[in-house]
Structure formats: C-alpha cells, structure tokens
Amino acid sequence: MSEQPVMVFQDVTKVYPLPAGDVTALDGVSFQVERGEFISVMGPSGSGKSTLLNLMGCLDVPTTGDIFISGTRIGDMSDIELTNLRRDRIGFIFQYFNLFPLLNTLENVTFPLMLKSGKKADAEKGRQVLRSVQLEESLYSHTPTELSGGQQQRVAVARALINDPDILLCDEPTGNLDSKTGAGIMELMTELNRKGTTIIMVTHDHGIAEYSKRTIRIADGRIVS
Amino acid sequence: MSGGIFYEIAKRNVRIHLLRSSLAMLGIIIGVVAIASMGILGNSLVLTVSDSLKTVGDSVIVTPHVGGNTRGFGGGGGGATSLTLSEQDFLQIKRVSAPNVAIPVLQSSDRMQLGVGSDEIVATIYGLNPDDVPELLKLKEGGYSRGNSGCLVGSKFADDHNVKVGSRILIGTDGNKGTLRVTGIIEERGMAFDVSTDSAVVATKDWFDAAYNRNDFDKVVVKVKKLEDLPIVKSAIEKQMNKRDTVVDVMDTRKTMDTIFQAFGQITTFVSAIGGISMLVAGVSILNIMMMSVTERIKEIGIMRSIGAQRKEVMAMFLYEAAILGIIGSIIGGVMSLLGGYAISTLMLQNTKYLFVPSSMIHIVYGMTFGITICLICGIYPAWRAANLNPIDALRHE
C-alpha cells in the first residue's frame, strides 16, 4: 500500500467578498504533494500564489473544495485545531525571516517546541537542529539583530524544523538575501529534502525554482502547468 | 502550558521599553499612594476619635427634653422642666435602670482663680456624688475627694494651669463661691457624651448644690453593665419617663458612636474614591500603552499565530505585560503609601500611632489590589484584540 500524500487540494476555490464585488483568488485548483517532494510554486503578482500559500499553511480555509493535510480535512476545523495543525505538521519559512526580536537564537528555535510540549524548552534538541542548519554554536545566545541575514534565515529554517513537520512551506526564502547567501540557504533546503523533508516553496526567481524537483505554475487563480 | 515563554517575552518587552513602562507604572504608583494614603488618613481619624470616645460607649445619657411638647418651666407635679431633671425624675430613672448604676450630674461654667490675685479663668465645673465618681472617672494622680472642700481636675486643666494635687482653686468671682483643694487628677477621657472632664473641675454634689443653690440635675448617666442591655435600658427609660409627654431625651452612646463611625467610614470611602479616580486615569494610560504595544507587535503576533500559538496564549502574553506593570507599580506604590500615610497623618492629625495597625495597613492592600486589578482590566481589551487578529493580516502588517 502506497504512503498517503502529505497534501491534497481537491477543486479548491477561494473567493474574497469585497464591497466592489467578489474576487476569486483561486478557481478550482487541484493537486497533491507526495512525501519527500520539493515543489516550487511560481506565478506573476496577483496570480493567487499568496492565497495558495495561506491555504497550504492552514492560515485560511477554502470557500469550496477540500484540502487534506496528511489525510486530515481542514475545511471543518476550528481555529484551535488549525493552530495545532500548523504547529505540529507545518514549518514556515518567511522572506523576512520573522524571528522574535526579544528572544535569542536558541529560544527562537525552541519556541514552537514549547508551544507543542507546554514545557520548558528542550535546549539540546534546539542545539541539534541548529547544528543541522550549520549555525555556529557561538551564535546561539545572540538576538536576531546581532545576526546576518543568512544566519537569521538559518535560524528561521531551524525553527521551522524543530517540531519535525510533514511540510516545510517557504515564502521567497532567499528574497531578502544576496545571491551567495541565498545559494547557501538553497543548498541547505536541498540537503533537507534529500533527507526526506517535503518542501513547497513560493518564488519569483527561476534560478531558485531550479533547486526544486517540480514546479506548479499558477495564473489568474488556476494552475497552468 | 507554554506560559513560561510568553511571560518571559512580556517581561522583556517591559524591560526593553523601560521609559514607557516606567511612565505607565508611575500612574499606578500615584493611584495606589492616593487610595492607600487617604484610606490610612481616614482610618487614623476614625481610630483617633474612637480612642477619644471609647470610655463612654457603655452609657445611656438622659437629658431634659429641649423643645417640643414638655411639661413647661417650673416642674409642675415635681416633674422635669425643659432644662433640668428633678430628684423624682432621677429616682424613676434609677429604678427602671436597676441593677445598672444611674449617676446624676450637675454642670455649670464659672470663673475661677488658681490662687489669690492670679488671673481669672473660665472652666466647666461638675457636681457628682462622691460614691459615683469612681464609676465614671479614673485618676492618674492623687485620690478621690471625700469632704466637700475637695475636687478633682482634668489632666488638660492640670497641664494648662500647672495645677497639682494639693493646689487650691478659688471658684466664682474673687472666690465668692468658695475654695476647693485638688485631691486628684483625672485620666484623659477625650471628647465624651457624659462628662467631658479633661478641661474641667469636678466637685461634690453637696458643694455644688450649696454653691449654686441647686436641687435638680442637668443629666443622668446610666452606666450599663452589659453592652447588649443598652437598647433595653434606653427603651425602659423612655417608656417610663415619656409616658404622656416627651419629658426626656435618651441617648444611647454606643448607637451615637456607631453613627459617628459610620459617617467617618463614609468620609474615608469618599476620599479613597477620589484617590480611585487617579487610579482610573492611570488605567487609561495602561490601556493606551498596551494598545501601543499591540500595534507595534502586530507582525510578531502574526508570526506567533502562524507557527502555532493559540489565541489564549497571545492573550496571556499581553495580560502578563499588564500584570507586570500593575504588580511592580502597586508594590512601589504600596511602599510609598507608608511614607505618604506617615506624612499625611503627621500633617493632619499630628499623630502616627495608627499608621501600622492592621486596619490602616489593609488600605495599602486595597490600593495594591485595585492597582493590579485596574491594570488587568485595562489590559483585557488590547490582549483580546491581539489574540483575535487575523494571522494573515497580521503577517502582512508592516
């Protein structure tokens, strides 16, 4: 028996009701992501990429259609259930790193772990994940403002990985980095994917998209290829 | 619960915005000091008055009815006039009050000299049966008078006029009513409903009758043995004396004291409420600062929510922040309230002996509790707003 897909979109439509009239951001989108895939999502501005990302990240629910994350349908979930799903199954990596300025590197990484366990952070697991993203140990007590962009993004990747998510969702992960540092981050992503992590990455950059194994192209709210 | 990390973030946020947090706490400090100091002052005032009145809390005071329907002047049928009580009235009061002690009191004001040729002063002079005096008055020096030429003086009278046991006092103009020798000095009694002796002279009833040609009484004091009998004695006297007309007024001193304390309690509540207004202003400042904190951290809230923080956890984080401001501000305010209470009691009552009594200290607890509660209440809306932000909108926020 084959392993179930980590993510399934079935005829998903998302409509935003606005005073000037309804806007259909996604229109009948269907696809599925198998475990261990590395997918990039590309498309011009206004094509529906952000809406797709929000739905994949369980930050929003579809107007019609179904989304399954590791076999669980998200459409009828309460806010608490969706939040727990995001915490346990999905790792987020943002363009602007979005680390917590009041926490140091280790605390930033172990934050989702504390949300999940409800206990004091397992610092050793935090160190282990930080080592896996190749961040120097001397930086673990530094605050985000004391780190370079590349170092911050490595911390963000470590934070996304700490709860062993099913999917890593990346929103322009190299968009705020110089090309050399960006390449370093993408090599890290490739390495993570090689070890079995499922990655979905939204990007404008064709060069970055080439690191992925599959590309979903989207235009006017529909998947075009 | 992952409360630890949210508490840590709240604590660090207070620390990182130290000036802003300090200003918010200053409001709370002022509020706590205002409430607690006013409460301490009010309580000290009540205790000071209570101290003055406590010796007379077990009495029923019977005085001739003034105004309204009386038996008129002249004391027809041996009854009371509108100004004094007759011997017969006293005997009736004594009978219905038994086994409690009924003490007839004569009272006047007169000129007196503390030696031939010395300056004349005017003071109150009481006439009491020598046997009744120990029931009513305690001495701090000397002994009770036995003969008609002896008298007692109040402690303030003795201090003001340098009167000692053995001193002689000439009563009336140029001593025309006689000379009394001081046999004892009465303990300070403060303000009293029965006899206010601190600045007075207490002579024997026989001397008083002779000197002022009196055979009646100004009031009768009934000292009740059991406090719970006060209303019963009061009612019995009223029933006996005011059968047909209102002849006497009967005052239950305990009830009067209760009324006075109630009035003081209301004054304390009122002044504390004025202090409470400053606390409300401080609360508005906390609300403002918390709203500012939420607005500044919208994106951070979005990140927290997106990576798995529940609404209640975000809410708790902001409530922790409000609570930290409230607790620190209230503790500092509580300590400063002691200084404030000391200063205000010294200035207004010239007395700080009631500052550390539990009934004063409780006002510091009230002030601190109110401070923390106001902070939490004012933190609820910003915290609720933060918790209910849409994560997508919050993440887009710049």
Nearest to A176, CA basis, from A198, A144, A137: A144
pLDDT at B1 over 60: no
pLDDT at B71 over 60: no
Cβ neighbours for B171, distance < 8 A, ≥ 6 positions apart: B110, B111, B112, B125, B177, B178, B179, B180, B201, B203, B211
- Residue A225's pLDDT is what? 81
Nearest to B21, CA basis, from B278, B383, B288, B275: B288
Q: What is the DSSP string of B129-177?
A: -TTTHHHH--EEEE----STTEEEEEHHHHHHHT--TT-EEEESGGGTT
Residue A175 placed within a domain: yes
- pLDDT tens track for B374-385: 999 999 999 999
A115 pLDDT tier (thresholds 50, 70, 90): very high
Cβ neighbours for B22, distance < 8 A, ≥ 6 positions apart: none
- Residue A220's pLDDT is what? 92
B54 pLDDT tier (thresholds 50, 70, 90): low
Mutate: best of B307, B318, B321, partner A, most A CBs <10 A: B307
Q: Which pair of structure tokens corresponds to residue A51?
A: 């809406």
Residue A189 placed within a domain: yes
Please name every residue paired with B60 in a beta bridge, in sequence order, or none if there are none: B222, B252
Look over chain B and give the mean of its residue pLDDT values, rounded to a whole number.
85
pLDDT at B61 over 90: no
pLDDT at B188 over 70: yes
Mutate: best of A50, A61, A86, A109, partner B, most B CBs <10 A: A86
- pLDDT tens track for A125-160: 999 999 988 899 999 999 999 999 999 999 999 999
Q: What is the mean pLDDT of residues B109-115?
A: 82
A32 pLDDT tier (thresholds 50, 70, 90): very high
Look over chain A and give the mean of its residue pLDDT values, rounded to a whole number.
92
Q: Which of A59, A60, A102 sits opposite B9 (nearest CB)?
A: A102
Pick the residue from chain A with its C-alpha nearest to B15. Answer: A102
Backbone angles phi, psi at B174, to 5 degrees: 55, 30
Residues in B closer than 8 angstroms to A60, CB to CB, are 392
How close A211 gets to chain B, by Cα (Å)?
25
The percentage of residues in chain A with a pLDDT greater than 90, rounded to a whole number, is 77
pLDDT at B75 over 50: no
Q: Is residue B357 classed as helix, strand or coil in its secondary structure?
A: coil
Pick the residue from chain B with its C-alpha nearest to A90. Answer: B307
CA distance B8 to B1: 13
Q: What is the mean pLDDT of residues B157-178?
A: 85
Lowest-confidence segment of A42-46, B61-65, B75-79, B105-109 by average pLDDT = B75-79
Q: Which of A80, A92, A101 sits opposite B307 (nearest CB)?
A: A92
Q: Tell me if chain B has a CB within 8 Å of the CB of A100.
A: yes
Q: Is residue A40 classed as helix, strand or coil in its secondary structure?
A: strand
CA distance A65 to A91: 24
Instruction: Tell me the C-alpha to C-alpha distance, in Å, between residue B165 and each of A167, B109, B143, B270.
Output: 101, 22, 9, 47
CATH code: domain of residue A116: 3.40.50.300
Pick the residue from chain B with its C-alpha nearest to A83. Answer: B308
Residue A2 placed within a domain: no
- Residue A93's pLDDT is what? 93
Cβ neighbours for A48, distance < 8 A, ≥ 6 positions apart: A14, A25, A26, A29, A218, A220, A221, A222
pLDDT at B229 over 60: yes
Higher pLDDT, A217 or B141: A217
Residue A76 placed within a domain: yes
Residue A39 placed within a domain: yes
Q: Which of B16, B300, B311 sits opposite A100 (nearest CB)?
A: B300
Residues in A closer than 8 angstroms to B11, CB to CB, are none
A2 pLDDT tier (thresholds 50, 70, 90): low
Residues in B closer than 8 angstroms to A114, CB to CB, are 2, 4-5
| Tally of domains within chain A | 1
Q: Tell me if chain B has a CB within 8 Å of the CB of A57.
A: yes
Cβ neighbours for B331, distance < 8 A, ≥ 6 positions apart: B368
Mutate: best of A115, A116, A117, A162, partner B, most B CBs <10 A: A115
Helix (H) or strand (E) holding B326: helix B311-349
Q: Tell me if chain B has a CB within 8 Å of the CB of A195.
A: no
With beta carbons less than 8 A apart as the criterion, state whether A130 and A104 touch. no
CA distance B64 to B85: 6
- Residue A8's pLDDT is what? 96
Total residues belonging to chain A: 225
- Residue B56's pLDDT is what? 63
Lowest-confidence segment of A23-37, A84-98, B177-191 by average pLDDT = B177-191
pLDDT at B58 over 50: yes
Higher pLDDT, B148 or B357: B357
Mutate: best of A53, A94, A119, A168, partner B, most B CBs <10 A: A94
Cβ atoms within 10 Å, residue B274? 11
Residues in A closer than 8 angstroms to B12, CB to CB, are 102
Please name every residue paired with B106 in a beta bridge, in sequence order, or none if there are none: B127
- The amino acid sitting at B25 is M
Q: Which pair of structure tokens corresponds to residue B398?
A: 């710049």
Q: What is the mean pLDDT of residues B179-194?
A: 84
- Residue A95's pLDDT is what? 87
Residues in A closer than 8 angstroms to B1, CB to CB, are 118
Pick the residue from chain A with its C-alpha nearest to B303. Answer: A98
Q: Tell me if chain B has a CB within 8 Å of the CB of A95.
A: no
Q: What is the mean pLDDT of residues B123-128?
A: 90
How close B308 gets to chain A, by Cα (Å)?
4
- Of these ranges, B20-24, B182-186, B311-315, B344-348, the one predicted with the greatest mean pLDDT is B311-315
Q: Which residues of B192-224 are buried (b: 16+ CB within 10 A; e: fewer)?
A: bbbbbbbbbbbbbbebbeebbeeebbbbbbbbb
Q: Which domain holds residue A151?
A: 7-223
Lowest-confidence segment of A12-21, A58-67, B109-118, B299-308 by average pLDDT = B109-118
Tell me the residues of B at the A interface, defined by beta carbons under 8 Å apart: 1-2, 4-5, 8-9, 12-13, 16, 299-300, 303-311, 313, 391-392, 395
How close A42 gets to chain B, by Cα (Å)?
20
Q: Which of A86, A101, A103 sits opposite B306 (nearest CB)?
A: A86
Lowest-confidence segment of A183-187, B31-35, B234-238 by average pLDDT = B234-238
A167 pLDDT tier (thresholds 50, 70, 90): very high
- pLDDT tens track for A63-101: 999 999 988 899 888 999 999 999 999 999 998 899 999
Residues in A closer than 8 angstroms to B16, CB to CB, are 102
Residue A68 placed within a domain: yes
Lowest-confidence segment of A33-42, A165-174, B97-106, B192-201 by average pLDDT = B192-201
With beta carbons less than 8 A apart as the criterion, state whether A94 and A144 touch. no
Rg (CA), chain A: 18
Lowest-confidence segment of B19-33, B268-282, B292-306 by average pLDDT = B268-282
Total residues belonging to chain B: 398
CA distance B305 to A57: 11
- Residue B73's pLDDT is what? 41
How close B10 gets to chain A, by Cα (Å)?
9
Q: Tell whether ipTM is more than 0.85.
A: yes
Q: What is the mean pLDDT of residues B307-321?
A: 95
With beta carbons less than 8 A apart as the criterion, state whether B136 and B223 touch. yes
How close B333 gets to chain A, by Cα (Å)?
28
Residue A1 placed within a domain: no
Mutate: best of A54, A84, A114, A152, partner B, most B CBs <10 A: A114
B299/A98 Cβ within 8 A: yes
Residue A131 placed within a domain: yes
How close B392 gets to chain A, by Cα (Å)?
7
pLDDT at B300 over 60: yes
How close A134 gets to chain B, by Cα (Å)?
22
Q: Tell me if chain B has a CB within 8 Å of the CB of A86.
A: yes
- Residue A143's pLDDT is what? 95
B74 pLDDT tier (thresholds 50, 70, 90): very low
